[in-house]
Structure 1
């Protein structure tokens, strides 16, 4: 770099926002080269110099700002270090003073707060808060208890609880009376329900007994029916008749009629039919006759015989072995007994009536038959009377038994005589 040889002193003036330079000589090689090149390139040398000044000014300003910032930063760091050192020392002093004050206030042994807490909350202190609160509560509770006792015990009209107490007493008395009434009615209802329950239990027991009795009666009826069928079958076989148990078989519309006997069916075509109805229970006379009429319709029979287990089981106002309406007969037969004579007589009477009806009376000595029937019934009455005597007198058992056997033989002979008369006076089916 060469030094510029000033011919005269440079003059720089500032007019408003303009800068005027007069007589300034710059001997900077870089500046000279830049201006020469730009001038050779056709640019205005003055404008190039102005641009260089402006750009240099901005660069100088920026550099000056950076220098100022570094200065400020250095000054700030120095000041901060000084402040920090001073603050640390002051903080240490404050901390020491604060620790001393805290120890004075909160020290576990000699601290003011510990002493105050011990004085106000220790159990040994008379002025402790809990002790004073306990004493105050005890006093207030006692006073309240006394006041309440006075309020509830006093019947004075000025007592605000007097009306309430009286109303409560009245309500309790009314409630007690209503409860007593309700309990009384409840007891009455319980008694009535107990009686009703007992009545229902008794009725249930009666129904159970009735069902059991009905079952026993059904069993007895079926046993009696079987015994009647066995006895009639034996009698029918001796007469040459056919016997069938039809109690479980449907007739025309119902099962009425237990035993059906076809007369002379073992010798040829049947000459008539007899139906037997075994009844273990007692029926009324209309009901019994209705049963016999229904049995004849259902079984297409000419004669109907009702067999009962004893004479006291006969319908009221009826007699055994007595013919009713010309086609019905009642017989008492006891299966447990050793005598079926009454059943044999009833069978023979029914058989004779059927043969007489079917024979239209031709060649039949009706008077002789009636006489034989009367004698048979008389002999049977003698048999019944003798049986009664045998039941009541043990000393004449052997003699009565002999008489009874003779009379039974006599009855059987008379029955044979009736059969012979009926057979002789009744023409066979198909005879001219």
Structure 2
């Protein structure tokens, strides 16, 4: 860009934001040429002049601003160099001063802070913080323990564990009551179980006794029949009668009837027949009557006698040595009781009944026979009573013997204790060697 040509201004002034130029003459070739071209073109040259002024003003302003910026930059750089040098010098002085102060405050030997720390935190110092803290903590701990002990031992609401203690007591009481109830229930259950076990044991013993009795009865069945047959044979032989054991011999329609007696059978044809049925088990009254009727029918006998093993085997609602229907009789016989008196009486009654039936009563005093039978039955009752008394006496004698044996054993024990006491040396003799 070419340099601006100086303008010979007659008068230049600014007013109200406008620039007023009077008597302006421009000699710049470029400006003249442009104005000439504009005039030749028929355009307004004033606008060209205005544009030239405005554009020139802006260019001048921009160049002036750039010159000022360079100046400012140069000044800033110079000021920065001066400031940097001053800062370095001041920082050096500050560092030296800071080192002196730090050495004065934190020096290992003469530093104020070091001496203060040694005084307040050294173990050798009596004013050390840890010692004071320890003393304070000890005092506070002792006081807290005392207060806590007082609170825990208090009975009122100031005790923090009072509510918990009451709850624990209530829970313990409730637990104890529950345990007591459970134990009581267990004891009751154990007692019921014990009673049930005892009942079952008693039932088991009864069942075992019944089974043993049943086994003894099964094993003793033939033996009892044989013993009955032997006893009847002896009674019959003494009176000239014929007795035969027919338990295994089938006659008529069956084998009912164990012994058949032919009256006066040893001297000739029998004058009548008596059948004996031996039973080691208890029958009911209807069964016993049917059994005797069947035996009398199958053995073609005139009289039937049921022989049972003991009073406990007599059929229900029937009595021994009593006739039933004029041709049946019940009698008990136990081979271990000695002479068969009941069996002899039953034999005599049955024999007399058969003889009276077959002989038409000739030569037989029925009243005398009945009276004799009653006397015999009464005598048998006396015999049974005396046997029971003898049994009771024997039991009492056995118990007395057991008591005597127990007393004798006690006396022997006392004698042994006396002998031991006599044989033992006195305490003085025991301690004499020690002295």
TM range (shorter): 0.3 to 0.5
TM-score if structure 2 supplies the norm length?
0.43
Of structures 1 and 2, the one scoring higher in RCO (CA 8 A, sep 6+) is 1
